[in-house]
């Protein structure tokens, strides 16, 4: 049986406290109504909002996640945030290895793996992101490249309960472009097969698609085999758009 779908909103470096609270309250109001979407709903605000939004998320049934963590549990790392601090703030999930972290901050697979292991050690679910650039897609080796990226980024001791994998083609993030349904299906099938070689419960692990997910394409993408949800960027900042994506789960 396919895992229950997860719709995760990555707010990136957006929204101030009043805006974040208003968005969570609106989403909570929708969650309390009927019919309820056939998915779990997660929001990943900036670090500054986690403490303020944790109580609201608990009240409304939303899961709370962070957008990054450090590989160490504490220490002299000015400006960084440790995974135990995120758990202490009320988070259940943390995104690691997003392409913006990989490209803008020079994070390699070993760094992403270390961060994911720190997340698991703190009791968090790690959302490990992988994806190819446009040049890598055009090379005809996208699946080979992304599978290798995934296997090198996987934390030791991961399971379907502690790990989520998000496939985000770099060339589709924030561009309005999306891969074809066939390309998404092929990549997710390749990732599931690769995970099956290293995890005994790979069939139950959530594989999310991300990259310009919006209300107009969500239902089609979420119906693809091995797509167990979505990691949503820009559309997650709008209650109407994000909720429409959640409702696309059925």
CA distances from 99 to 28, 47, 54, 106 (A): 29, 18, 26, 10
> Out of 98, 100, 107, 143, which one is annotated catalytic?
98
Q: What is the 3-state secondary structure (H, E, C) of 68-95?
A: CCECCCCCCCCCCCEHHHHHHHCCCEEE
pLDDT of residue 121: 98
Q: Is this model's pTM higher than 0.75 or not? A: yes
Instruction: Tell me the binding residues for substrate.
Output: 10-12, 174, 212, 233-234
Whichever domain contains 142, its CATH number is 3.20.20.70
Number of domains in the chain: 1
- Does 84 reside within a domain? no
> Which tokens is 243 given?
């909720």
Predicted pLDDT of residue 190:
98
CB 148 within 8 A of CB 136: no
pLDDT in tens, 63-93: 999 999 999 999 999 999 999 999 999 999 9
Structural domain harbouring 58? 5-12+24-29+38-71+90-248
> In this structure, is residue 150 part of a structural domain?
yes
Low-confidence ranges of the chain (pLDDT < 70): none
What is the CA 84 to chain-centroid distance, rounded?
A: 19
Asked about 168 being catalytic, the answer comes back as yes
Task: Write down the catalytic residue from 100, 107, 136, 168.
Answer: 168
pLDDT for the residue numbered 2 = 86
Query: Under the phi-then-psi rule, with left for phi > 0, alpha for psi from -120 to 50, and beta for the rest, what region is 15?
Result: left
CA-based torsion, 212, 181, 191, 126: positive or negative: positive
pLDDT for res 210: 96
Catalytic residue status for 239: no
Binding-site positions read 10-12, 174, 212, 233-234
pLDDT at 177 (0 to 100)? 82
């Amino acid at each position: 049986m396919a895992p229950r779908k997860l719709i995760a909103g990555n707010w990136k470096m957006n929204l101030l406290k009043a805006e974040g609270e208003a968005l969570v309250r609106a989403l909570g109001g929708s969650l309390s109504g009927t019919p309820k979407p056939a998915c779990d709903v997660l929001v990943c605000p900036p670090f500054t909002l986690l403490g303020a939004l944790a109580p609201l998320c608990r009240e409304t049934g939303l899961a709370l996640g962070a957008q990054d963590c450090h590989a160490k549990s504490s220490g002299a790392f000015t400006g960084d945030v440790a995974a135990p601090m995120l758990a202490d703030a009320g988070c259940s999930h943390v995104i690691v290895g997003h392409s913006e972290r990989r490209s803008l901050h020079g994070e390699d697979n070993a760094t992403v793996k270390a961060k994911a292991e720190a997340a698991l050690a703190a009791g968090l679910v790690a959302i490990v992101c992988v994806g190819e650039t446009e040049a890598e897609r055009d090379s005809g080796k996208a699946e080979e490249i992304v599978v290798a990226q995934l296997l090198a980024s996987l934390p030791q001791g991961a399971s379907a309960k502690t790990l989520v994998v998000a496939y985000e083609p770099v060339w589709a993030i924030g561009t309005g472009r999306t891969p074809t349904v066939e390309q998404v299906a092929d990549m997710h099938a390749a990732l599931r097969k690769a995970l099956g070689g290293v995890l005994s419960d790979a069939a139950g692990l959530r594989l999310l698609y991300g990259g310009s997910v919006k209300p107009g394409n969500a239902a089609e993408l979420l119906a693809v085999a091995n797509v167990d949800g979505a990691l949503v960027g820009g559309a997650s900042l709008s209650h109407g758009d994000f909720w429409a994506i959640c409702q696309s789960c059925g």
